[in-house]
């Protein structure tokens, strides 16, 4: 082994992933790409707004995860959606990391539309789940989620047109007057609930609208992957797999 290789290995041993080249975060490593969006002042400010608002929303043991690339995808999708008629919707908000970033990025308070933000704001309801799905949800509730309603209320308070809807989906959706949808972000982490929600709103999503699936290609989320593939195919659509693990559907 040459000296150079030896140094590389020592560096890798002590610094782990950080010693490798390129951008690395959120289980994504990118080499030799221009990724200036991360330094775009408007995006940086929006991300910082979301990040700082979520410091206490991820359980005691976890820092706010660096999901900037996922947030960038949502900012891009939501920006495009501004040219379409309809409201914005997120299923699965927690403290609002992604949607706060989107709202700040788009100066959402000035937009003539509503952002519907659906969540229990206290973790995944387990009563109607069984088997592995119920076990997984319980684990997530124990390790990750707590009552974040007050945090979420504060986080979106400067956007008068952001409406937090607290309670169990899909029931809360049935009780809310959501009309046309121009942007949809789905992040419930449970295939059954995501399916129940998309089936209810599919007809209201306008042509050209982006649907961002947060967990689509993540290992350990195969039930969501299969459900979305089956749903998209049934409607003559195809899900784009993004390297972030998100899925993207453009409604046509």
Residues in touch with ligand SAM (CB under 6 A): 92-98, 119-120, 123-125, 145, 168-169, 187-190, 193
User: Cβ of residue 141: shortest distance to ligand SAM, in angstroms?
Assistant: 8
User: Cβ of residue 227: shortest distance to ligand SAM, in angstroms?
Assistant: 14
Nearer to ligand SAM, 118 or 182 (CB): 118
Taking each helix axis from N to C end, the angle separating 41-53 and 68-81, rounded to the nearest 10 degrees, works out to 110
Nearer to ligand SAM, 85 or 147 (CB): 147
- Surface-to-core class of residue 140, CB atoms within 10 Å of its CB (0-12 exposed, 13-18 middle, 19+ buried): middle
CA angle 216, 159, 183 (to 5 degrees): 30
CA angle 218, 120, 26 (to 5 degrees): 25
User: Cβ of residue 3: shortest distance to ligand SAM, in angstroms?
Assistant: 46
User: Cβ of residue 196: shortest distance to ligand SAM, in angstroms?
Assistant: 8
Nearer to ligand SAM, 8 or 218 (CB): 218
User: Cβ of residue 147: shortest distance to ligand SAM, in angstroms?
Assistant: 10
Nearer to ligand SAM, 109 or 167 (CB): 167
Nearer to ligand SAM, 141 or 229 (CB): 141
Which residues make Cβ contacts (< 8 Å) with residue 100, sequence separation at least 6?
46, 49, 50, 53, 54, 155, 156
Nearer to ligand SAM, 86 or 96 (CB): 96
User: Cβ of residue 6: shortest distance to ligand SAM, in angstroms?
Assistant: 42
């Amino acid at each position: 082994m040459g000296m150079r290789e030896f140094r590389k290995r020592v560096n890798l041993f002590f610094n782990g992933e950080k010693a490798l080249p390129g951008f690395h975060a959120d289980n994504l490593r990118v080499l030799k790409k221009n990724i200036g969006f991360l330094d775009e002042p408007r995006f940086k400010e929006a991300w910082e707004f979301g990040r700082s608002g979520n410091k206490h929303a991820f359980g005691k043991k976890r820092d706010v995860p660096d999901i900037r690339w996922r947030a960038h995808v949502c900012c891009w999708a939501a920006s495009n959606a501004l040219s379409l008629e309809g409201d914005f919707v997120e299923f699965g908000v927690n403290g609002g990391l992604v949607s706060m970033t989107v709202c700040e990025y788009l100066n959402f308070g000035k937009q003539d539309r509503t952002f519907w933000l659906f969540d229990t704001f206290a973790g995944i309801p387990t009563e109607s789940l069984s088997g592995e799905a119920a076990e997984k949800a319980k684990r997530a509730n124990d390790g990750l989620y707590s009552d974040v309603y007050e945090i979420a209320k504060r986080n979106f308070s400067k956007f008068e047109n952001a409406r937090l809807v607290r309670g169990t989906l899909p029931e809360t959706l049935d009780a809310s007057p959501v009309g046309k949808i121009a942007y949809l972000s789905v992040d419930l982490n449970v295939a059954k609930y995501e399916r129940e929600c998309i089936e209810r709103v599919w007809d209201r999503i306008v042509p050209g609208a982006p649907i961002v699936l947060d967990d689509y290609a993540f290992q350990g989320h195969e039930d969501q992957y299969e459900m979305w593939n089956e749903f998209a195919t049934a409607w003559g659509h195809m899900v784009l797999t993004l390297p972030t693990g998100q899925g993207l559907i453009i409604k046509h």
